[in-house]
Amino acid sequence: AQSVSQHNHHVILSEAASLELGCNYSYGGTVNLFWYVQYPGQHLQLLLKYFSGDPLVKGIKGFEAEFIKSKFSFNLRKPSVQWSDTAEYFCAVNSGSQGNLIFGKGTKLSVKP
Amino acid sequence: ETGVTQSPTHLIKTRGQQVTLRCSSQSGHNTVSWYQQALGQGPQFIFQYYREEENGRGNFPPRFSGLQFPNYSSELNVNALELDDSALYLCASRGPDLAKNIQYFGAGTRLSVL
């Protein structure tokens, strides 16, 4: 069965620090990969996605992620975080044949001003 | 804004009761999925409906059931509520272009079972 692991439960950074959130998935076939963000009290919002092609994908708000197939990883990065990035971040995967998403447990990011 | 609205936003029920949660999707989004997000966890897939028929289900018992209507609205019904059903329930819709395969989420209904 597919599964998604997010390594960090809670990350605390100061503004302007660099961010990298780890995500690993288990599935042997073709996958689509996503990062969603959930700001306090708001709906899940798509940050970026990978379907195929260039393994380095850029999303909204300065976020990017790199798909490394050999490591089954899809880590999220941002060079310089802002206080407004405080939120919970979810990595998710689905296979080409199934629409439902498998989510990781999420990483809570707290950015200190 | 995702164009997906859910109601109610909060709900309190007691164990053994039944509940109906509602979702309204974007026009043209004929696939809707429901997820359960327990506290401190990621969303877990409950089931998916396409053109008013269930076409995928996660590891949830039959007391979780759903309906999808032609007007792009849908319902999640839960019978015989248990304390562990307390969670945020999310509805997500997708458009007809499966190649894009992007799900748009509503803000959720927070259900508390006492």
User: What pLDDT band is residue B94 in, cutting at 50, 70 and 90?
Assistant: confident
> A82 to chain B, minimum CA–CA distance in Å?
22
Check pLDDT > 60 for residue B99: no
- Asked if B42's CB is within 8 angstroms of A99's CB, the reply is no
Q: Which of B101, B104, B107 is closest, CB to CB, to A42? A: B107
Q: Give residue-wise pLDDT tens across range A13-41.
A: 999 999 999 999 998 778 899 999 999 88
Distance between the two ends of chain B, CA-based, in angstroms? 32
Token reading at B33: 């999925």
Q: Give residue-wise pLDDT tens across range B60-85.
A: 999 999 999 998 899 999 999 999 99
The secondary structure element, H or E, covering residue B27 is: none
Yes or no: say if B23 and B90 are a contact pair by the CB < 8 Å rule: no
Count of CB pairs separated by less than 8 Å, A with B? 60
Collect all residues of chain B within an 8 Å Cβ-Cβ radius of residue A101: 33, 35, 43, 45, 92, 103
Token reading at B94: 């997708």
More confident residue, A28 or A62: A62
Q: Give residue-wise pLDDT tens across range B13-46.
A: 999 999 999 999 988 888 999 999 999 899 999 9
- The DSSP bridge partners found for residue A85 are none
Distance between the two ends of chain A, CA-based, in angstroms? 41
Nearest Cα residue in chain A from B39: A105
